[in-house]
Chains A and B, each alone.
Chain A
Amino acid sequence: MSSEAYVYDAVRTPRGRGKSNGALHGVKPISLVTGLIDALRERNPGLDPARIDDIVMGIVTPVGEQGGDLPRAAALLAGLPDTAAGVQLNRFCASGLEAVNQAAARVRSGWDQLILAGGVESMSRNPMGSDGGAWFLDPETALATDFVPQGVSADLIATIEGFGRDDVDGYALRSQDRAAKAMAGGHFARSIVPVRDENGLDVLTADEHPRPETTREALGRLKPSFAAIGAAAGFDAVALRKYHWVERINHVHHAGNSSGIVDGAALVVIGSEEIGRSLGLTPRARISAAAVTGSDPTIMLTGPIPATRKALRTAGLGTSDVDLFEINEAFASVVLKYQRDLELDPDTVNVNGGAIALGHPLGATGAMLLGTALDELERRDQRRAVVTLCIGGGMGVATVIERL
């Protein structure tokens, strides 16, 4: 007999700029995680740490201080009982949501009752890609799979879909605008746990990456980021070998319309109905369905479309049954294509902005988006949301949540 997997709580750190002058640069990734564990216990007095089966966390660059199964070390450092295990996983950009989905599946199977799921990434301290990988470092693999960096894929999507510089910059502006309004309106307040130092002093209390002052003109002045590697290094040639009907790639993405590099962490409490009753916790939502898909790795970032369709099919729902869509803003073209292909009302997609304004702490983002979507459903008193991310290697992950 299968049971439901409920979301009992969701917290996150503010996102710090992923540079040496970012507020979280001086904070260790393990500290971001222990801070959230402490906060969850404080917010949920009934949450008996002895009942926690596991901590599942996405970390995309699991090397150095982020390596060696950080979740277990964090559990121990946070003072959880020895019985709280920990595991790190990596599904690139979707790792945080993957953690939630795996936790939910284990709870639904009845094998586990209570799991903390989420992710962490200190990108200012552990540069993206520094863990290597056969996909792009091994010539045999790179050649056989027509590997290109994600920026080239995003530009390829824009070229094929006919999204020009105006379209992607316009979308970026919308993300900044919506994020600014959300912050001003306190839409993130329920989830955000300020990062404090060992003396209790505030290190960061709100997202640091947004640039509400950005204008279309300022964005228009930014040079495309992937034109040079596309042309000089040959990645355009790799992509066009497969997308042969495209004469050339129109490079439109730059730092202003792509996701920001930031530091941050998130945790979601996933548990069975029974554990909630036994600990006196009130479920905020249930995980209705989750899906992972694979599609062409060269265009790479179109995965949210099949993933959303698959998850909705599993849930027995259609897009019209969903009130809010939260898709990771890896690049503007990813969101624009998602909206177009699924025929979505833009006013239901990323209503509080996204990673273009707020940043994308790789391993944590998926869990953050789930919290953001849940907070917004509650604020609007709506019912269902889809959370989805595009993923390196041409994958997609989507989760359907439903308020009770």
Chain B
Amino acid sequence: MIEYQRDDSGVVTLTLNDPDQSANTMNQRYVDAMSATLDRLEAERDQVTGVIVTSAKSTFFAGGDLPSMIQARREDAPALFELLGTIKRDLRRLETYGRPVVAAVNGAALGGGLEIALACHHRVALDAQGTRLGFPEVTLGLLPGAGGVTRTVRMLGLAPALMNWLLTGRRYKPADARDNGLVDDIAATPEDMLEKARAWIAANPGARQPWDREGYRIPGGSPSTPKLAAQLPAFSATLRKQLKGASLPAPEKILETAVEGAQVDFETAQVIETRHLITLLTGQIAKNMIGALFFDMRAINGGLARPGVEVPPAAKVAVLGAGMMGAGIAYACARAGLEVVVKDVSEQAAARAKQDGDPSVLARITTTARVDDLAGCDVVIEAVFEDPELKHAVFAEVEPVLAPGALLASNTSTLPITGLAEGVSRPADFIGMHFFSPVGKMPLLEIVVGEKTGDEAVARAFDLGRRIAKTPIVVNDGRGFFTSRVIGKFIDEAIGMLAEGVPAASIEHAALRAGYPTGPLALADEVSLSLVQRIRRQFEAAADDAFERLPSHELVDTMVDEHGRPGRAAGQGFYEYENGKRAGLWPGLASLATAEGRAVPVADLQDRFLFAETLDAQKCLAEGVLRTEEDGNVGSILGIGYPAWTGGVLRFAHQHEDFRARATELAKRYGDRFTPGAA
């Protein structure tokens, strides 16, 4: 696990190399090997002049041992305390070894990997393609508990440590990591990296950590320094603001660990760090987040939903429509090295797809108004206006010129794929590829399988999605598929609350408190109420008498038809807008209540959002729209803003202490839509 090699000059190179995994993690093998390595280093101290820590993998070190971490239970606290104590003790032995220790960071050093590097006196990072340094713990509901909080705070000071590293989970390239203080030097090649490490060892025989030197003070001061004490109250408030009013254990515990640790000596700070990590590890939310964002995500990206058929990779992509979505899809494909042709009704319209971006990427995009220019494309992604007739027409127009057997994909967000497939000659090759806006930022791709869509088409769409760095979920056809359908419940619930007389500000704040990134009324304005109205009417027409008319429907009609407030694009919706920016809730909203206002506890408002979406996602699973729970969980977090702390829209029910009882309670208070389905 840790190879030990001493050269003639007395420099020991420790090479991290887990024999059973493709990446090094802080598993038991590491823990045992590190203890043994330190024993040997101490025994051979007289022959050692310095230590280099590096890795034999393409990455330096990946981080914590998540499969074991997700198992942690309350009663494991003593064992965890012991384990973390051992990990910390050995890293402390390394940094107080009495010889210069350099981390030669040859690849990604995330979480535990960065913590090992911080226990060295000097860090040289290799400027390789995938080298990233950072603390992703917060995004998994954890904190860096192998000395990461303690050392980062002591290296950089409280505010920079928290804002730039610990609370953001950001992963820095080597140069950015250096600018933000945790990397000392950058090397162009592996040889150069080791050379620099050796040179530093030779030049710094008496190396010690800053906090082990006489007269050390934390940069920027400790909480007892008046200047810092004056700023300290704002730390908590700023965090709360960044969380938009939500309460999440990991960032809160990180802040607590950093501040509490800065008040005491190094060793005590490490113990405080351990205590807080154990609280997170043994709690539910870290399990939810690791489950969804690591395990479910890994399963999805690993091809859980991909049919096991061999298909050729995409070569040349045609994008129909150069609007915001079309342009975004084209750019994403070009960035992955694909050749792209964007067609729109005129040259001028098509040229919108080449307006912004990296010139070397844009160089791979051709724009045109001529169908013939799509000749040879083996994938077409349609991103024109949401009108079935129009979509049929554009496919009919382009189909003859494409490469034989080309994949025919529509980026529709709501129209059933099976219906759209009727407009093409090869329905087996027709599929939905639902991208999210803005395409460059949103990581999800919802692949929609129509009645006649073949396995090859699914595999091709999946492979293309992976190639352009999206996480592709695969769902079956249905109105609104999975994502648009379920997010609709969030918006419907909010509008229903408004009809009940709940103050609009409470509705927005409750959603944010629950962990949603945007209030539902603001979201409805973005989507536009006329679209909400149109989709509902289509649904109503298609569903015949099964359609349940809700108070929210009437309110949408009133907003659109009577008040002419369909949303942001129109400059007025639930919010007022000034220069395109939200300027505040429309004061007329209070008059839209159709029921006698009653006090609704904010906890109920929060749960109504979460439960409405989860109950509908459970229906999606039962109806076969969702094929796997993993797709539902990851899709809900990445695509429609379902709060990540829940571990996803389906896991929310599993992790809830009594989902059925609470749903039944909500059903009693607020309506049958909350009645839980069959267990």
Contact = CB atoms under 8 A, between A and B. Distances in A.
Interface of A: 129-130, 132, 136-140, 142-143, 147-149, 229, 233-238, 240-241, 244-248
B68 interface: no
B504 interface: yes
B237 A238 contact: yes
Contacts of B239: 139, 143, 234
Contact of A237 (B241, B252, B504, B508): B241
B240 A238 contact: yes
A67 to B, nearest CB: 15
A246 B223 contact: no
Contact of B505 (A229, A236, A247): A247
B354 interface: no
Closest CB pairs A-B (n = 4): A234-B241, A244-B509, A234-B237, A233-B234
A283 B242 CA distance: 58
15 contacts: A130-B226, A137-B233, A139-B236, A139-B256, A143-B240, A147-B233, A148-B237, A234-B237, A237-B240, A238-B240, A240-B245, A240-B505, A241-B513, A247-B505, A247-B585
Contact of A142 (B236, B244, B245): B236
Given A229-B234, A238-B241, 8 more contacts: A137-B223, A137-B232, A138-B260, A140-B252, A143-B239, A148-B237, A236-B241, A248-B584
Contacts of A238: 236-237, 240-241, 245
Contacts of B230: 129
Contacts of A246: 505
A142 B233 contact: yes
A233 to B, nearest CB: 4
Interface residues of B, number: 35
B516 to A, nearest CB: 14
Contacts of A137: 223, 229, 232-233, 259
B598 to A, nearest CB: 13
B238 A234 contact: yes
Contacts of A237: 237, 240-241, 244-245
Contact of B506 (A130, A149, A245): A245
Contacts of A130: 226
B237 A244 contact: no
A132 B584 contact: no
A215 to B, nearest CB: 32
Contact of A136 (B233, B247, B255): B233
A138 B255 CA distance: 10
Contacts of A241: 240, 245, 509, 513
A150 B239 CA distance: 19
B245 A138 contact: no
Interface in B223-269: 223-224, 226, 229-230, 232-242, 244-245, 247, 252, 255-256, 259-260
Nearest to A152: B237
A247 B504 CA distance: 8
B503 interface: yes
A235 B237 contact: yes
Contacts of B242: 234
B233 A149 contact: yes
A147 B240 CA distance: 11
B237 A139 contact: no
Given A129-B230, A241-B245, A244-B509, A143 B236 contact: yes
Nearest to A237: B241
Contacts of A140: 252, 256
Nearest to A247: B505
A245 B508 CA distance: 9
B236 to A, nearest CB: 4
A147 B232 CA distance: 12
B177 interface: no
B398 interface: no
A57 to B, nearest CB: 25
Contacts of B234: 229, 233-235
A100 to B, nearest CB: 30
A261 to B, nearest CB: 16
A236 B512 CA distance: 14
A241 B252 CA distance: 16
Nearest to B587: A247
A143 B260 CA distance: 14
Contact of B252 (A129, A143, A147, A148): A143
Contacts of B223: 137
Nearest to A240: B509
Contacts of B247: 143
Contact of B229 (A132, A240, A245, A248): A132
A148 B238 CA distance: 11
B602 interface: yes
A136 B223 CA distance: 11
Contacts of B237: 142, 147-148, 233-235, 237-238
A138 B236 CA distance: 9
Nearest to B241: A234
A318 to B, nearest CB: 29
B380 interface: no
Contacts of A147: 233, 236-237
B584 A139 contact: no
Contacts of A143: 236, 239-240, 247, 252, 255
B353 to A, nearest CB: 38
A253 to B, nearest CB: 18
Nearest to B512: A241
Contacts of A236: 241
Given A233-B237, A235-B237, A247-B584, A136 B232 contact: yes
B626 interface: no
B510 interface: yes
B236 A244 contact: no
A138 B258 CA distance: 11
A147 B223 CA distance: 17
Contacts of B236: 139, 142-143, 147, 238
Nearest to B247: A143
A235 B260 CA distance: 21
Nearest to A129: B230
Contacts of A138: 256, 259-260
Nearest to B505: A247
A144 to B, nearest CB: 9
Contacts of B255: 139, 143
A233 B238 contact: yes
A271 to B, nearest CB: 41
Contacts of A233: 234, 237-238, 241
A135 to B, nearest CB: 9
Contact of A245 (B224, B505, B584): B505
A161 B285 CA distance: 38
Contacts of B505: 240, 244-247
A304 to B, nearest CB: 24
Contacts of B260: 138-139
A382 B509 CA distance: 50
Contacts of A235: 234, 237
B513 A244 contact: yes
A230 B229 CA distance: 18
A137 B262 CA distance: 12
Contact of A234 (B240, B252, B508, B513): B240
B269 to A, nearest CB: 15
Nearest to A130: B226
A110 to B, nearest CB: 44
Contacts of B584: 247-248
B241 A245 contact: no
B227 to A, nearest CB: 11
A246 B245 CA distance: 13
Given A244-B602, A245-B505, A247-B585, A139 B240 contact: no
B252 A139 contact: yes
A92 to B, nearest CB: 15
